[in-house]
């Protein structure tokens, strides 16, 4: 029989913040609807030690129209989720992802007769 080798563990300074599966599914669902509406065309994700960022772009060669940030260190204070606009201003902050994404989802609403 063969022996089982363990993967080496990463040191503490290599840890990074990331999105959980359900969080990422919700964000990518919104991204897909915005792409279908013709409002977004590209995205980027950045994972650092203290923050995970999803950036959505109208075009690939400009600043992100919206950034969705997850900062677990702010969980007990203002909430770990933040929606940041193109100018860098925090548009919405909260403890839950749904209400933070609401201003972007409102852009998809249309009046139906």
Q: What is the pLDDT of residues 11-29, one digit of tens each?
A: 666 678 889 999 999 999 9
Domain tally, the chain: 1
67 within domain boundaries:
yes
4 within domain boundaries:
no
91 within domain boundaries:
yes
Residue 80 near residue 97 (C-beta atoms within 8 A) = no
Residue 18's Cβ-side half-sphere holds a number of Cα atoms within 13 Å equal to: 7
63 within domain boundaries:
yes
Query: According to the per-residue pLDDT averaged within each range, which of 1-5, 13-17, 98-102 is highest?
Result: 98-102
Residue 30: domain span:
15-105
21 within domain boundaries:
yes
Indicate the pLDDT class of residue 79, thresholds 50, 70 and 90: confident
pTM of the predicted protein model: 0.81
110 within domain boundaries:
no
């Amino acid at each position: 029989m063969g022996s089982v080798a363990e993967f080496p563990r990463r040191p503490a300074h290599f840890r990074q913040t990331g999105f959980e599966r359900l969080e990422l599914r919700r964000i990518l669902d919104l991204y897909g609807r915005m792409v279908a509406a013709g409002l977004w065309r590209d995205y980027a994700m950045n994972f650092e030690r203290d923050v995970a960022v999803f950036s959505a772009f109208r075009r690939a060669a400009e600043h992100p129209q919206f950034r969705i940030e997850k900062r677990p260190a702010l969980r007990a204070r203002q909430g770990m989720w933040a929606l940041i606009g193109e100018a860098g201003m925090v548009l919405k902050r909260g403890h839950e992802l749904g209400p933070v994404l609401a201003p972007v989802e409102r852009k998809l609403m249309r009046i139906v007769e």
